[in-house]
Amino acid sequence: DTGVSQNPRHKITKRGQNVTFRCDPISEHNRLYWYRQTLGQGPEFLTYFQNEAQLEKSRLLSDRFSAERPKGSFSTLEIQRTEQGDSAMYLCASSFRTNEKLFFGSGTQLSVL
Amino acid sequence: GENVEQHPSTLSVQEGDSAVIKCTYSDSASNYFPWYKQELGKGPQLIIDIRSNVGEKKDQRIAVTLNKTAKHFSLHITETQPEDSAVYFCAASRTGNNDMRFGAGTRLTVKP
């Protein structure tokens, strides 16, 4: 499979709990992006990695959010002390070059109760 | 920063008719404009894109037009089929910027 893979597909958690999502990009893509999408809206940029370096973060990415991409391969997005407002679809995308086609995974749907 | 507006938010057409979705952008430096199709429970899938050095691009039943002066671009789907039913997003970005901005989406329904 050459697509972007995200796990888990769905996550239900209680407010205050920590959650972690994983993204495996297309293998030859060194650029990896995290987006958040709420119902009826387009994806909103959260953060970007080039190889293992996190080069850009949106102001949407509060202190409770942290993303890593060790070894420049897969990436994880962790949300600490989840709030109901964190409920959304978290999308991962990868690309071969900047300002180029983004290939998205199927996302992780987070529900915070 | 870039702001992308998309219209209409919903669009219903009869099978075989054409569908047109329009987007405007604010950053005159934007030079890359992709269109994505998102089906229920899936991530957005790129269907066509255009760069600012081209005014029109076509791929079978799908075409995109770009007017740089007016800062708007449009998606045209001809001979629509029920499987075209989905949410479509336009987006804009520029060289050196990793923050691709998306429109709010258009829910297209093709009635058989």
CA distance A97 to A15: 37
State mean pLDDT over B25-29: 93
Determine the residue of chain B that is closest to A92 in CA distance.
B43
Q: Does the distance separating the beta carbons of B89 and A43 come in below 8 Å?
A: yes
Q: Does the distance separating the beta carbons of A45 and B34 come in below 8 Å?
A: no
Local confidence band at A101 (pLDDT 50, 70, 90 cut-offs): confident
User: Which residue in A113, A109, A66 sits closest to A88, CA to CA?
Assistant: A109
Considering only CB atoms, B43 lies closest to which of A48, A91, A99, namely A91
| A79-88 pLDDT per residue, tens | 999 999 999 9
Where are any strands of DSSP class E within chain A?
5-7, 10-13, 19-24, 31-37, 44-50, 53-57, 65-68, 75-79, 88-95, 103-104, 108-112
Per-residue pLDDT at A98 exceeds 80:
no
Judge whether B98 is closer than 8 Å to chain A, CB to CB: yes
For residues A111 and A90, the answer to whether their CB atoms sit within 8 Å is no
Chain-centre distance for alpha carbon A52: 14
Considering only CB atoms, B34 lies closest to which of A33, A48, A101, namely A101
Across-strand partners of B35?
B48, B90
Chain A residue numbers touching B49 (CB-CB < 8 A) = 101
Determine the residue of chain A that is closest to B90 in CA distance.
A42
* C-alpha neighbours within 13 Å on the C-beta side of residue B56: 4
Per-residue pLDDT at A1 exceeds 60:
no
Q: Does the distance separating the beta carbons of B45 and A104 come in below 8 Å?
A: yes
Chain B residue numbers touching A40 (CB-CB < 8 A) = 104-105
Chain B residue numbers touching A45 (CB-CB < 8 A) = 98-101
| B35-72 pLDDT per residue, tens | 999 999 899 999 999 998 889 999 999 999 999 999 99
Determine the residue of chain A that is closest to B32 in CA distance.
A99
Task: Give percent of chain A with pLDDT exceeding 70.
Answer: 97
- Does B44 sit behind a cis peptide bond, omega within 30 degrees of 0 on the bond before it? no
Local confidence band at A99 (pLDDT 50, 70, 90 cut-offs): low
User: Which residue in A29, A37, A51 sits closest to A101, CA to CA?
Assistant: A29
User: What string of DSSP letters covers B4-35?
Assistant: EEEE-SEEEEETTS-EEEEEEES-TT--EEEE
Cα angle at A65 between A104 and A43, to 5 degrees? 30
Residue A22 CB-density burial (10 A; 0-12 exposed, 13-18 middle, 19+ buried): middle
Cα angle at B92 between A75 and A33, to 5 degrees? 5
